[in-house]
Structure 1
Amino acid sequence: MLTIYKTDHGVCHKIPKAETGCWIDLCEPSSKELDEISLDFDIEPDDLRAALDEEEASRIVLEDDYTMILVDVPIVERRNDEDVYTTIPLGIILVADSVITVCMTQTSILADFQNNRVKQFSSKKRMRFVYQILFRTASTYQRTLRVIDKKRVDIESRFDEDDTKVNDMIALHELESTLVYFETSLRGNEVVLNRLSLYKRIDQYPEDMELLDDVIIENKQAIEMATIYKDVISGTRELLSTIVDSRLNNMMKFLTSITLVMAIPTIVSGFYGMNVPLPKYSFGELTVLTIVVCIVSLIILKRKKML
């Protein structure tokens, strides 16, 4: 879908066609819309479609008529009634007097601009707009990382229960995988930000450079959070695996002890089934003797912490 926005007096609103200082948003665009923008602004079709490929890496492309910035942004998907966190590419293309964004799905980052939830947003100030997008991207990573860590804490709080499920181990593995993807995406974005700090192609105001410095700091903090949380989840997963193994060992020890005690009546009855001379006891006396031996065995096993 192709939507064109422009800010007037600090308010973002839709306009029917592109004009100077506008923002062109391509969300889940059709081939026709991509071809239209490609022809109107003389942009390579492959550069427009780059943001629609999940495997594309973050980078900057400098062409004569435009500049493309490709970064990874976090999103939440719903799978099997569960929230799943992942990253997708977001393309930001600077043309003559406008900004074009391309993404395969709607993101909360761009929705904030569309719904006037970003202070001092102006579609006419292109580089500031780009840095505001990148700042909110880094902030969204941090919020998502905190949610992931909270899920890890919730799983860890269930370790005291005897019915720790395999689903918890699977959930921890998925969270750890998500953090690996997040860390990789954040490091790719860091390369883009470092290149932007040396970017001299378009005039930038001092306040824009200050905003870029803030973006770089926020992105570094997000990288550190992802690294720390990944290490913590790795340790949590090992702890859970150890607890499960310990419970299994205790169960095997208990079953072995019960088997040993239950073998006593079998042995006694086996002796009296042989054609050999044995002391003569009544059935009642033999039963009581067997029960006493079993109880003594249980007491010994209990003291040995085998039960």
Structure 2
Amino acid sequence: MVYYYRTDDRIIHEEEEISMGVWVNMVNPTMTEGEEIARKLDIDLQDLLAALDEEESSRVELEDGYTLILVDIPATEIRHDKEAYNTIPLGIILTKDIIITVCAEETPVLQAFINGRVKEFSTKKKLRFVYQMLFRVAALYQSHLRIIDKKRKEIEERIDYETEDVDLIDLHALESTLVYFATSLRANAVVLDRLTRYKRLEQYPDDKDLLGDVIVENQQAIEMTSIYRDVINGTRELMSSVLDNRLNNVMKSLTSITLVMGIPTLVSGLYGMNVSAKWVPLANTPYGFGIICIATLAVCLALLLVLKRKKVL
């Protein structure tokens, strides 16, 4: 779909067609829609639809008549019947009078502008608009990172009593997401670094300060990602140790039970041998069977007491 927006007196409204100062928002556009916009604005079709390729890397390209900026933004998806995070490209194209955004799906980054939740927003101040979008991207990363850490804490709270193998799988999924975030944030940092030296478009007085804020927020997101990765790695190692310790405790208990049960088995095996009764102790003694059973039980209880004192049980 292709939408046209324009701000007048800081109020955004939808337009019917392209005109000067319009923001063209393309959400998963078809090839026909892409060809039409590319023809009207004299933009290479591959550059226009570059953001639809999930493998496209973040970069800035200066072309004749327009500038292409590609950054990675966070997005949600359903993975194994659970909500998970990934990153997708967002394409921003600046022409002399028009700004174009291209994304494979609806994103909160752009919805904030459409819904009028961003102050001092104007489609006519294109470079400032770009910086405001990048600021929202960094803020969205930080928001998702906090949610990821909250999920980790929920798993960590269950370690003492409800830890399951699925928790290890969930932690691995969170760690994988952080790897994707770290890669995308570092690539975005390269784009921001290049924009600090970008003089092609007119910059308003506050633009440089805003770009500095974006760089700070992006760097903070990178640091948060690194910290949360280390914390998740520690949580995963702790959980693995807890599961291994529980397994060791079960094995010790089973071994102890086997050792104790081996005593009655040994006694009954010896007394079950087919030999002359005169060689078998207590064979002809009144209440001999009871005496043997009581003695065997006493040995078993003594062994249990020894194992408990040594904290084997």
Q: TM-score, normalised by structure 2?
A: 0.96
Return the offset for 1:284. 2.1
TM-align CA RMSD:
1.0
Structure 2 match to 1:305: 311
- 2:281 is aligned, of 279, 282, 294, to 279
Structure 2 match to 1:108: 108
**Counterpart-to-counterpart distance in 1, 2:264 and 2:145:** 60
**Counterpart-to-counterpart distance in 2, 1:259 and 1:27:** 67
Matched, 1:56 2:42: no
Deviations 1:38-83 (A, max 9, x none): 1111111111221011111100011011000000001122334422
User: Following superposition of structure 1 onto structure 2, how do residues 3-18 of structure 1 map, counting pairs within 5 Å?
Assistant: 3-18=3-18
Deviations 1:251-283 (A, max 9, x none): 111100001111111100001012261211522
Task: Give the letter for the 1:2 counterpart.
Answer: V
Structure 2 match to 1:288: 294
Matched, 1:180 2:179: yes
**Counterpart-to-counterpart distance in 1, 2:209 and 2:310:** 69
Task: Give the letter for the 1:185 counterpart.
Answer: S
Structure 1 match to 2:141: 141
Identity among equivalent positions (%) equals: 57
User: Following superposition of structure 1 onto structure 2, how do residues 92-107 of structure 1 map, counting pairs within 5 Å?
Assistant: 92-107=92-107
Secondary structure (helix, strand or coil) at the match of 2:159 reads helix
Structure 2 match to 1:252: 251
| Stretches (4+) displaced over 3 A | none
Task: Give the letter for the 1:60 counterpart.
Answer: V
Task: Give the letter for the 1:298 counterpart.
Answer: L
Matched, 1:128 2:128: yes
Task: Give the letter for the 2:237 counterpart.
Answer: E
Question: Which has more radius of gyration?
Answer: 2
Task: Give the letter for the 2:223 counterpart.
Answer: E
Task: Give the letter for the 1:122 counterpart.
Answer: S
Task: Give the letter for the 2:143 counterpart.
Answer: R
Number of residue pairs aligned between Structure 1 and Structure 2: 306
**Counterpart-to-counterpart distance in 2, 1:78 and 1:65:** 40
Return the offset for 1:105. 0.4
Task: Give the letter for the 1:285 counterpart.
Answer: I
Return the offset for 1:26. 0.6
Deviations 1:208-254 (A, max 9, x none): 11100100011011101101111111111111111111111111111
Task: Give the letter for the 1:54 counterpart.
Answer: E
Task: Give the letter for the 2:312 counterpart.
Answer: M
Structure 2 match to 1:73: 73
Matched, 1:83 2:94: no
Deviations 1:159-196 (A, max 9, x none): 111x4111110111111111111011000000000000
Unaligned stretches of 5+ residues in structure 2: none
Q: TM-score, normalised by structure 1?
A: 0.97
Task: Give the letter for the 1:216 counterpart.
Answer: I
Deviations 1:98-138 (A, max 9, x none): 11000000000100111111111111110010000000000
Unaligned stretches of 5+ residues in structure 1: none
**Counterpart-to-counterpart distance in 2, 1:78 and 1:10:** 37
